[in-house]
Amino acid sequence: MNAHAPAVRGSYIPYYVLFYSLLIGACASYSATQRITLSLLLSVSASWMFVPVLHVITAAGLVALSRAQGPRSRAIARLLTQHAPWSLWLLAASAMTGTFGWPVYHWMVAAALIPIALTLRIVHRFVRDELGVRGRRAIVLTLAHQGVTWLVAAIYLDRAVSLVPRIIGWLS
Amino acid sequence: MLALSLVIAGAAAGSALDTRRAPDPVRAGGYFVLAADFHVHAFPGDGALPHWQLAREASRRGLHAIVVSNHNQTLAAQILPGWISPVGSLPLVIPSQEVTTPGFHLVAAGITSTIDWRKPELEIARDIHAQGGVVIAAHPVGRFWQGSDAMIAALDGAEVAHPLTESYAPGREELSAFYARARALNSDVAPIGSSDFHMVAPLGACRTYVFAESVSVDGVLDAIRAGRTVAQDQAGVLYGAPELTALIGQQQTATPSAPVGRFARLAAFFVLIGLFACIVVR
């Protein structure tokens, strides 16, 4: 692993889970109710806590697959510190939809292309510079990490909106 | 540390400003008039809030009942025990499913076991009725409704007010045309106003005034079966039998979802700014 990487301890991982849960809780609360109370913050953060937990699991999988030397928890923590693109998008989407409602919703969904692209770049750099994986294998690992992340999201989406009958309807 | 203080202070101020609750249902024409939203999505699913927070939000928005209707599941309304929203307390949280099929979507209000969307359309309606539920056509416009006349005749209610009219130009006309067609096939079909709430405020933007004999889930479902409802769209326009819409006017209950106060919004922005600072200042 990169010896010059900024010092991040493994204890950042539980902080990340709590912080990201709080972020989702605040953003979802404001978008849905135009207010944030302690009760909303606690309930909604606890409900969506599985999202940062999944981030930790996929990061752990990536580090394990890289076969990099050194403490794995620090490597996982280092990847998790790179959450700014999605976090800022969440804040912006929440502030905009909570304030202006449906008219801006589709614009904010389209704006998600920015964190999607930035995260691809961040993960690739992390695999190359922090985990020391080079060339084609770095690209494969990056795509595998993002592929698994999006597969999990797609499975949740399918359960949430019942995709199968919709697809049958669109095709017919 | 300062950023985290801002988050906590903002949320505490938001809690202190969170005092708005729905008034008790008024009485009109010998009935209790309950404001209800019959199409609400919850967590876990494609809704942002769990059902107990939806109930609180419903009360803030002046609603007496919500129908938690996730796509092809009934888990969301039943995920935690009744002490969170005790049976009989307002707002009523009515378990349901948005039966999502390739040809149409239905809100199956008042059911507790999941309906299989793969069944033939009339069998779906029979299964809902067998559980004591009511069948409501959800956003019956364009590609969301390819049901037969026999299916329409089996409906207990149809959404005639829905926020889709803001983004889908022919929506108003299509919802009205569908409701007229449903009334021609079944004169008791109830007009329903729903917000189809997922994660963008406000809950109850479109709503239904229910003329119930009792303030209970059974009272609400019986009123739907008897067609004793008035739907209201986001502009405050009422849809329903003239004698019932007149009662709503007299009782002055037809107030659209009240906006959140500026101080509550300001407090929320403190939280968001605090979180922003946590992200950019490390």
**Looking at residue B254, what is its pLDDT?**
45
Q: What is the mean pLDDT of chain B?
A: 92
Closest-CA distance of chain B to residue A33, Å: 5
**Looking at residue A6, what is its pLDDT?**
60
pLDDT surpasses 60 at B82:
no
Closest-CA distance of chain A to residue B29, Å: 33
Residues 6+ apart with CB under 8 A from B93: B51, B52, B54, B55, B65, B66, B68, B77, B85
Query: Which structure tokens are listed for B183?
Result: 């009334």
> Which range among A75-89, A145-159, B174-188, B245-259 shows the weakest confidence by mean pLDDT?
B245-259
Q: Give the other-Cβ count within 10 Å of B136's Cβ.
A: 29
pLDDT surpasses 70 at A45:
yes
Q: Which helix (H) or strand (E) holds B105?
A: strand B105-109
CB contact under 8 A, B199 and A32: yes
CB contact under 8 A, B117 and A33: no
Best B53, B166, B265 member to test A by mutation, with max A CBs in 10 Å, is: B53
Residues in B closer than 8 angstroms to A98, CB to CB, are: 200-201, 268
Q: Which helix (H) or strand (E) holds B20?
A: none
pLDDT surpasses 70 at B81:
no
**Looking at residue A123, what is its pLDDT?**
98
With cut-offs at 50, 70 and 90, classify the pLDDT of residue A172.
Answer: confident
Residues in B closer than 8 angstroms to A87, CB to CB, are: 275, 279
Query: Which structure tokens are listed for B20?
Result: 């708005």
CB contact under 8 A, A91 and B279: yes
pLDDT surpasses 80 at B281:
yes
CB contact under 8 A, B199 and A31: yes
Residues in B closer than 8 angstroms to A166, CB to CB, are: 100, 102
Find the residue in A nearest to B8 (Cα). Answer: A38
Q: Distance between CA atoms of A140 and A95, rounded to whole angstroms?
A: 36
CB contact under 8 A, B102 and A160: no
**Looking at residue B268, what is its pLDDT?**
97
Q: Which of B136, B127, B29, B114 is nearest to B70 (CA)?
A: B114
Pairing of strands B229-232, B238-240: antiparallel
Q: Distance between CA atoms of B282 and B271, rounded to whole angstroms?
A: 17
Pairing of strands B65-71, B31-40: parallel
Residues 6+ apart with CB under 8 A from B157: B38, B134, B135, B136, B137, B189, B190, B191, B192, B224, B227, B229
Q: Please work out, in degrees rounded to the nearest 5, the angle formed at the alpha carbon of residue B146 by the alpha carbons of B143 and B148.
A: 165
Best B199, B206, B260, B278 member to test A by mutation, with max A CBs in 10 Å, is: B199
Pairing of strands B157-161, B134-137: parallel
Q: Distance between CA atoms of B16 and B35, rounded to whole angstroms?
A: 26
Closest-CA distance of chain B to residue A52, Å: 15
pLDDT tens string A135-149? 999 999 999 999 999
Nearest CB to A37 within list B15, B73, B259: B15
**Looking at residue B88, what is its pLDDT?**
62
Q: Distance between CA atoms of A124 and B185, rounded to whole angstroms?
A: 61
CB contact under 8 A, B201 and A33: yes
DSSP string, A2-59: -TTSPP--TTHHHHHHHHHHHHHHHHHHHHHHS---HHHHHHHHHHTTHHHHHHHHHH
pLDDT tens string B89-132? 889 999 999 999 999 999 999 999 999 999 999 999 999 999 99
Q: Distance between CA atoms of B48 and A81, rounded to whole angstroms?
A: 25
**Looking at residue B31, what is its pLDDT?**
96
The ipTM, to two decimals, is 0.92
Pairing of strands B207-212, B65-71: unpaired
CB contact under 8 A, B200 and A97: yes
**Looking at residue B97, what is its pLDDT?**
97
CB contact under 8 A, A165 and B102: yes
Closest-CA distance of chain A to residue B72, Å: 7
CB contact under 8 A, A28 and B103: no
Pairing of strands B92-100, B105-109: antiparallel
pLDDT tens string B235-273? 999 999 999 999 987 665 545 566 788 999 999 999 999
pLDDT tens string A9-28? 888 999 999 999 999 999 99
Q: Distance between CA atoms of A3 and A79, rounded to whole angstroms?
A: 15
pLDDT surpasses 70 at B83:
no
Residue B141 DSSP symbol: S
Which spans in B48-170 are helix H?
Answer: 51-60, 121-130, 149-153
Q: Which amino acid, one-letter code, is at A168? A: I
Q: Distance between CA atoms of A151 and A158, rounded to whole angstroms?
A: 10
Residues in A closer than 8 angstroms to B275, CB to CB, are: 22-23, 26, 87, 91
CB contact under 8 A, A26 and B271: yes
Find the residue in B nearest to A41 (Cα). Answer: B11
Residues 6+ apart with CB under 8 A from B67: B36, B37, B38, B39, B40, B94, B96, B107, B109
Half-sphere exposure of B102 (CA within 13 A, CB side): 11
Query: Mean pLDDT throughout B41-60?
Result: 94
